[in-house]
């Protein structure tokens, strides 16, 4: 899984997840890929054995999860919210565990999160398109490699 993959959604408490399932139907072919299907089947079995609530559509498992941020392949965590400021506080507290927060670029969620100087917030679709100066985990890769050479940052 890519390091900038979406693994959790915060959704309003009254949001109907059927909207997502309808939009995801074009991706149903993922269930035909062996390794993906194995992950899906494994987590479905484990969660059902543990009597955990989940929603599924045959190729993605959705589980309401408050604590987890990184869902396994074939699954997606969701957390419902009433107050965006509580979501922001939660993201701020766990910013060291996040590379990027993806938000629809209009509306209350964008307004609540985009001004955050701690988190890297990008519009939907931009998390897999980093800028040249957008380093994974905030580490300047070039400077890191130059420092290994022992030349004090000079090539």
Average pLDDT over residues 2-23: 87
pLDDT at 102: 84
Q: Are 28 and 36 in contact (CB under 8 A)?
A: no
Is the pLDDT at 22 greater than 80? The verdict is yes
- Is 81 within the bounds of a domain? yes
Of residues 134 and 17, the one with the higher pLDDT is 17
DSSP per residue, 15-79: --THHHHHHHGGGGGGGGSHHHHHHHHHHHHHHHHTT---EE-SS-EEEE-SS--SPPTTEEEEE
pLDDT, residue 150, reads: 65
pLDDT on residue 113? 81
Q: Give the residue, 6 or 150, on which the prediction is more confident.
A: 6
Structural domain that includes position 44: 8-129
How many domains, in total, are found in the chain? 1
Within-domain flag for 143: no
SS3 content of the chain, % helix, strand, coil (to 5): 40, 15, 45
pTM of the model: 0.79
pLDDT digits (tens, 9 = 90+) for 26-65: 999 999 999 999 999 999 999 999 999 999 999 999 999 9
Residue 140 falls within a domain, yes or no?
no
- Token pair 């035909």 is at which residue? 32
Q: Would strands 61-64 and 75-81 be described as parallel, antiparallel, or unpaired? A: parallel
Name, in order, each residue with C-beta under 8 angstroms of 7's C-beta and a sequence gap of 6 or more: 1, 69, 70, 71, 76, 77
Q: What is the pLDDT of residues 103-144, one digit of tens each?
A: 888 878 878 787 777 778 888 887 777 777 776 666 787 888
Q: What is the pLDDT of residue 145?
A: 84
Residue 2 lies in a domain: no
């Amino acid at each position: 899984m890519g390091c900038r993959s979406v693994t959790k959604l915060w959704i309003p408490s009254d949001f109907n997840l059927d909207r997502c399932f309808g939009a995801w139907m074009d991706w149903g072919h993922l269930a035909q890929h062996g390794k993906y299907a194995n992950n899906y089947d494994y987590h479905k079995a484990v969660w059902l054995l543990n009597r955990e609530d989940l929603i599924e559509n045959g190729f993605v498992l959705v589980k309401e999860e408050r604590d987890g941020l990184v869902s396994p392949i074939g699954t997606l965590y969701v957390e419902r919210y009433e107050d965006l400021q509580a979501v922001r506080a939660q993201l701020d507290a766990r910013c060291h565990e996040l590379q990027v927060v993806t938000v629809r670029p209009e509306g209350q969620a964008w307004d609540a999160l985009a001004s955050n100087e701690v988190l890297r917030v990008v519009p939907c679709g931009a998390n897999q398109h980093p800028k040249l100066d957008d380093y994974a985990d905030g580490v300047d890769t070039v400077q890191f490699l130059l420092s290994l050479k022992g030349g004090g940052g000079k090539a």
